[in-house]
Amino acid sequence: MKRFKILKLVLVVILLGGCAVFRYQVPDTAIRTTPVPPLSAERKADILALYHSLNQPVPVSPEIFIKAVHGYDHIPRDKDLLTIIDFSQPSTEKRATVIDMEAGEILFNTWVSHGVNTGENMAEHFSNTEGSRKSSLGFYLTGETYRGKNGRSLRLDGLEKGFNDSARTRYIVIHGADYVSPEFIEKEGRLGRSWGCPAFPLDVVKPIIRKIKRGSVVFIYGEDPDYLNHSLYLSQES
């Protein structure tokens, strides 16, 4: 009887606490307060060598890849995985890439949506403000998963103050959507758009979430001068 009461109490705590009980804790040291060190010529050469050695053509430019990896190098993480979302490309392109950095292998390359107020086919306007329905740029760490109105979803913690640190309070998460598909592109000439979340195709979102959840790096890139000139994670030499 006593054992039953203990189990019942544990169940109540879980139900009341929800995801907060199991929240993945992002290291405080991940949020930078000073700029990353300048990119050395030696490390830049290493990054370019990795770029050219990957198992398939990389769907981002060498310049963006260098920025992504240099930031990744300075983020405490639990997984050697890097997801690059390149919002300088139109939504009709497969602009989301998941890379196993230890194995030097591209695991996924697929479509991803941007926010409804970020643009039509091109992502042009970005925000960290709640209610903006715009995408946010910068580096993130993946958190815990949960099941919501969009099915299995993955929480994101923004690591850049003023650019994406409101991601959790804005409910900016990775989730699947039926408007992220080649069929939608064929019909509308672009992907559908989210309220700011990076939404993935329904047929790949679950394996992607399973792979990258809890402590891997996500880099969302866009051609925004304010971000490119002021991010503490981007070395201006890169």
Q: pLDDT tens digits for 27-81?
A: 666 788 999 999 999 999 999 999 999 999 999 999 999 999 999 999 999 999 9
The yes-or-no verdict on residue 25 having pLDDT over 70 is: no
Environment class of 33 (CB within 10 Å of its CB; exposed 0-12, middle 13-18, buried 19+): exposed
The percentage of residues in the chain with a pLDDT greater than 90, rounded to a whole number, is: 84
Task: Return d(Cα 35, Cα 54) in angstroms, integer.
Answer: 29
pLDDT score recorded for residue 236: 61
pLDDT score recorded for residue 194: 98
pTM for the predicted model, two decimal places: 0.89
Pick the CATH number of 2-230 from 3.20.20.70, 3.40.50.970, 2.40.440.10, 3.40.50.300: 2.40.440.10
pLDDT score recorded for residue 32: 84
Q: 117: number of CA atoms within 13 Å, CB side?
A: 12
Joined together, the tokens standing for residue 107 give: 């695991």
The yes-or-no verdict on residue 178 having pLDDT over 80 is: yes
pLDDT score recorded for residue 31: 80
CB count, 10 Å around CB of 81? Answer: 22
Task: Return d(Cα 160, Cα 31) in angstroms, integer.
Answer: 6
The yes-or-no verdict on residue 95 having pLDDT over 50 is: yes
Q: What is the mean pLDDT of the chain?
A: 91
pLDDT score recorded for residue 70: 97
pLDDT score recorded for residue 15: 40
State the amino acid at position 147 in one-letter form. R
The yes-or-no verdict on residue 16 having pLDDT over 60 is: no
Q: How much is the average pLDDT of 206-220? A: 98
Q: Where are the alpha helices (DSSP H) in the chain?
A: 2-17, 41-53, 62-73, 182-188, 202-212, 225-230
Q: pLDDT tens digits for 122-159?
A: 999 999 999 999 999 999 999 999 999 999 999 999 99
CA geometry: angle 88, 210, 194, nearest 5 deg: 40
Task: Return d(Cα 172, Cα 120) in angstroms, integer.
Answer: 19
